[in-house]
A and B are shown apart, each in its own frame.
Chain A
């Protein structure tokens, strides 16, 4: 049985967790592929905008999945923990984004951070949720 910190998950929770994990993988894979394409080929401005739109598609899908999960979750305590974890995820992603944004700006260093902020968000939210569940065993 799939568990979340020894907590048995129902079919809806397992399904949501799997879909969000898949979207996270797509985000990461897409960011690597798009970075490689952008740096290897001399693309037109129109293509750049197209790539930018493609890169945000899985992020929008993940947000829709999270919203769908929150509206369908019947366990209000777990819903509360997930919302808190999501806020932590957003917070850490914003902090990392601001920090690396300044590093890139001031040192003209190329860090492919913008494309992995979604993964930072999801990983932080998942770690926070695990910690919160562990604290309330």
Chain B
């Protein structure tokens, strides 16, 4: 799943470590989410959305549009 985490983080001039600290996860977790290696659970996605004051859909994007869309 693609995401705009790196962009949102860069806009706020936060390092991966800063974001990890705010989310109370490891820096490796932030890196894995940013690079698309790991899709976060809904609770963590909501925490991200709350932190960036936006919606989950504006952070995480589907790789492909669903069939029939």
In the complex, what residue of chain A is closest to B24 when comparing beta carbons? A74
- Chain B residues 26 to 68 lying within 8 A of chain A, measured CB to CB, are 26-29, 31-33, 35, 37-38, 40-41, 44
State whether the Cβ of B10 lies closer than 8 Å to any Cβ in chain A. no
Contacts of A136 in B (CB 8 A): 28, 31-32, 35, 37
Tell me the smallest distance from the CB of A77 to a CB of chain B, in Å. 4
Q: How far is the CA of A136 from the CA of B37 in the complex (A)?
A: 9
| Cβ-based interface call for A137 (8 A) | yes
Partner of A76, one of B27, B35, B37, B40: B40
CB-based nearest A residue for B28: A136
A75 touches B31 (CB 8 A): no
Q: B24 — which chain A residues lie within 8 A by C-beta?
A: 74
Query: Which chain B residue has the least Cβ–Cβ distance from A135?
Result: B37
- Judging by beta carbons under 8 Å apart, are B25 and A77 in contact? yes
How many residues on B have C-beta within 8 angstroms of the other chain's C-beta atoms?
15
> Number of contacting residues on A, CB 8 A?
11
- Residues of chain B lying within 8 A (CB to CB) of residue A137: 28, 31
**A80 pairs with B31, CB closer than 8 A:** no
On whether the beta carbons of B31 and A7 are closer than 8 Å, the reply is no
Q: Are B38 and A77 in contact (CB under 8 A)?
A: yes
Q: 6 nearest interchain CB pairs?
A: A77-B29, A75-B25, A77-B38, A75-B26, A77-B32, A136-B28
Contacts A133-B28, A137-B28 known; list 10 others, CB within 8 Å. Answer: A7-B27, A7-B28, A75-B29, A76-B25, A76-B44, A77-B29, A77-B33, A77-B38, A80-B38, A136-B31
